[in-house]
Amino acid sequence: MIKPNALKKGDKIAAISLSWGGAGECKYRFDNAVRQIRENFEIDVVPTRHALRSAEWIYNNPKARAEDLLEALSDNSIQGIFSNIGGEDSIRTLPFMDYELIRNNPKVFIGFSDTTVSHFCFYKAGVTSFYGTSMLVGFAENAGMHPYQIEDIKRSLFSTNPIGQIPVSKAWTSERLEWLDPANESTPRLMTESRGWRFLQGQGRTEGALLGGCVEVFEFVKATSIWPSLNEWKDKIMFLETSEEMLNPSLFRRYLRNYAAIGIFNEINGLIVGRPYNNKHWKAYDNMLIEVIRNEQGLDELPIITGMDFGHTCPTFTIPYGVQAAIDCDKKTFEILESGLKM
């Protein structure tokens, strides 16, 4: 994998709308993210050419969304690209992607949820990208960014040192405060004390490169040119998370059985799962992971950690694609063994 350069003070970041045009609909929240990024990391943020267009315009122009990404990658004044928000139709940008351009212009690219599509484009191009928070979520967090999130971004995007052992956030939130009401920007969201991550099964220590994304978005990507082949899942640590739609547990089980039928669970070295939105269905999801992976597939030694601080929860840690990580089931730790950035 080709790694991008680390960000540094004074760099310029492009903010992009590859799916839903939420930044144009909630401009004050976008501006809040820009301000908080400047205050916490001393970098500048500029929108791409179409990033602040209306949600309707963004929906109607998938080619322009892809062109924004390719232009930002080609622009030597831009050192990184932050996704504004997810959505549900990044898949429509696929016909307009230029994988050679992505490969020849590696830059920090971060986002989550529907941004899984764009991450798989980077992965196909052989470039490390970062599954993490977005402009309108963690960077625009009400009443200020969470300290856990700030430290994660500094560790993941600004340092070439190995990322190291990932701490468990002491508290989390999925509380929804209406974005269309500017008054909510100064209202801290209700935090819930963390009970820690759950190590469902496995013994000892296992290592593997990181590959994964949002479960619902996988259904858009399967059988397309960017879906990883079975061989690409070999020896990986797979990461999964579910969206704010709070996927019905029976559907989650069907998706797991699909991964089993493809053969993915037989190839990977471990599985990590993000905390569900509002922690909804967590027990059912855990039970279904055991049902499918242990009981139906007989993989009772595959390490599985659930309830982790990534995905549709806040704050989150960042996951660099293709970078080596380790699960230690005895010590109950998860560690990212290298940087996702060029040394």
Instruction: Please indicate, yes or no, whether the overall pTM of this predicted structure exceeds 0.85.
Output: yes
pLDDT band at 340 (very low <50, low <70, confident <90, very high): very high
Instruction: Please tell me what DSSP assigns to residue 242.
Output: -
The yes-or-no verdict on residue 58 having pLDDT over 90 is yes
Q: CB under 8 Å to 206, separation ≥6 — which residues? A: 237, 269, 270, 303, 326, 327, 329
Which tens digits make up the pLDDT trace of 228-257? Answer: 999 999 999 999 999 999 999 999 999 999
pLDDT value of residue 183: 86
pLDDT value of residue 152: 98
- Phi, psi dihedrals of residue 58, rounded to the nearest 5°: -60, -45
Domains observed in the chain:
12-162 (3.40.50.10740), 171-336 (3.50.30.60)
The yes-or-no verdict on residue 305 having pLDDT over 90 is yes
The yes-or-no verdict on residue 181 having pLDDT over 90 is no
The yes-or-no verdict on residue 19 having pLDDT over 90 is yes
The yes-or-no verdict on residue 110 having pLDDT over 90 is yes
pLDDT value of residue 185: 87
Please name the amino acid found at residue 10: G
What is the DSSP annotation of 287-324? HHHIIIIIIIT--TTS-EEEEES-SSSBS---EETT-E
pLDDT value of residue 285: 98
pLDDT value of residue 44: 98
Identify the residue whose tokens are 């301000």: 35
The first and second tokens of residue 42, run together, are: 């001393």
Cα 187 from Cα 254, distance rounded (Å): 39
The yes-or-no verdict on residue 267 having pLDDT over 90 is yes
Cα 11 from Cα 243, distance rounded (Å): 31
The yes-or-no verdict on residue 100 having pLDDT over 90 is yes
β-pairing verdict for 333-336 and 324-328: antiparallel
Percent of the chain surpassing pLDDT 70: 100
Cα 222 from Cα 153, distance rounded (Å): 30
Helix (H) or strand (E) holding 342: none
pLDDT value of residue 180: 83
The yes-or-no verdict on residue 182 having pLDDT over 90 is no
Which tens digits make up the pLDDT trace of 310-333? Answer: 999 999 999 999 999 999 999 999
Mean pLDDT of the chain: 97
